[in-house]
Chain A
């Protein structure tokens, strides 16, 4: 399992005095995916990211990045990790190209890498302007270029869409999807822009008060406790039948039922069961709950 994971944490805990910012986190981030790490403000997202990058030391627990344990001395492991934490870490008195050059020198990369990442971020025309003259969107793109400079297998992004306009967000999304599809990079991104995560991520983790509330594929989350609505001609008979077959009927009234299901196969089975019993099914509907509603329901609970 560990080999197929870009990030794995075991019992990851971090306390600040009496405050537990991250509590027993068991992250499992599969390689080659975009993992959206969601949580309200103060949930422990940034602390988790700082722990993953070795900027903070865990009080308890371990972190494995690309299958290797993260230790204080083992900095070489970070060669496979690029990061953009909150605001991009840029030197405003240097040009965009010089900002990349600083990291290129430290990572001992070839000079051609700078042109490659500038092209990816669409900053070639502005590469020789000092960063203090850049717009927020340009800084964000340069920050992403900086994270991608060392060709890491894993990129960790903390609120990358912060301050971007809709066009910038769309561009960011395209860039991230290009990195995943063309370069097989794993992206771990924290965000509170739920709509964005819904459009980008294929895996989701939801954190609140330092604890992971959910972790899994986006579809699993969207299915999370969303009942199946069944409209049939003999509602009470249908309800009794489904209960007898072991399904949990949450609501039954006249010809409308709500049945708890987890897989698409359950819907097919329910339909067949009702039809076989001579009950006419007019409608089978599984409402797609917006991620935002789900998120709020989970975190408020």
Chain B
């Protein structure tokens, strides 16, 4: 692992001009702007002190429940595609660097993109909430403190590590987008079935629902969901790196 930092900086350079990097900016920005547009168009004459909170909650809910699990799958697929598409494995894996270092650096590059997109989202929510406050002065200032938003988004992106690690493993293992896409869609579909059915523990600890479970500090499974997302992500990531570094790429 002594070569991890150079390998990481190389991964960073590879992300330049990629769709993955553009999506990390555009995905959260579009979600924020969509919800902002909906709230700007609302005609709450009297105003409500809860509206700004509602704006933040709706944005974060759409992000953590629907967009983020798909985004994690997309990031994993796009990072893997950088090597798969041009068969650069044969160059990369012939270099005098331990193979696990290469896969760990890819895993960290993806995690960094997830954290970066979360940062963009949280910043977007705080900035647009300020804009809404100016546009709709009657809505008051009851928005949760910015620090709470950043904290919630950060924790939910940490809880997404498990989903990301699963998707990364699949994306690196198979050249085709299809297996990763099928798993992502199935995961989301199961989440929408599992959560409303009220099997609380299972629904809360299902990997695709972990980001949403960590958004609210009042959720009884908040700590377990966060721990599972983080530790499970690291564990699955480690097993994936071990497995991939032993595979033959030909």
Contacts and interface: CB of A to CB of B under 8 A. Distances in A.
Contact of A91 (B3, B86, B89): B86
Interface in B5-43: 6-7, 9-10, 13-14, 16-18
B95 A55 contact: no
B96 A78 contact: yes
Interface of B is mostly: loop
Interface string A82-108: 010111011111100010011101111
A56 interface: yes
Nearest to A81: B94
Q: Which of B3, B18, B95, B250 has the most CB of A within 10 A?
A: B95
B87 A87 contact: yes
B181 interface: no
A56 B97 contact: no
Contacts of B82: 91
Contacts of A150: 96
Interface residues of B, number: 28
Given A50-B250, A94-B16, A105-B6, A55 B94 contact: yes
B90 A89 contact: yes
B248 A106 contact: no
A78 B94 contact: yes
Contact of A106 (B3, B17, B90): B3
Contacts of A85: 90-91, 94
A53 interface: yes
A113 B248 CA distance: 30
Given A55-B90, A92-B86, A75 B98 contact: yes
A94 B91 contact: no
Q: Which of B87, B90, B248 has the most CB of A within 10 A?
A: B90
A24 interface: no
Interface string A154-171: 000000000000000000
A89 B91 contact: yes
A228 B42 CA distance: 99
Contacts of B13: 94, 98, 101-102, 105
B16 A93 contact: yes
Contacts of A108: 3, 6
8 contacts: A56-B250, A76-B96, A78-B94, A89-B87, A102-B13, A103-B91, A106-B6, A106-B7
Interface of B: 3, 6-7, 9-10, 13-14, 16-18, 82, 86-99, 248-250
CB-CB nearest 5 A-B residue pairs: A89-B91, A78-B96, A79-B96, A89-B88, A53-B94
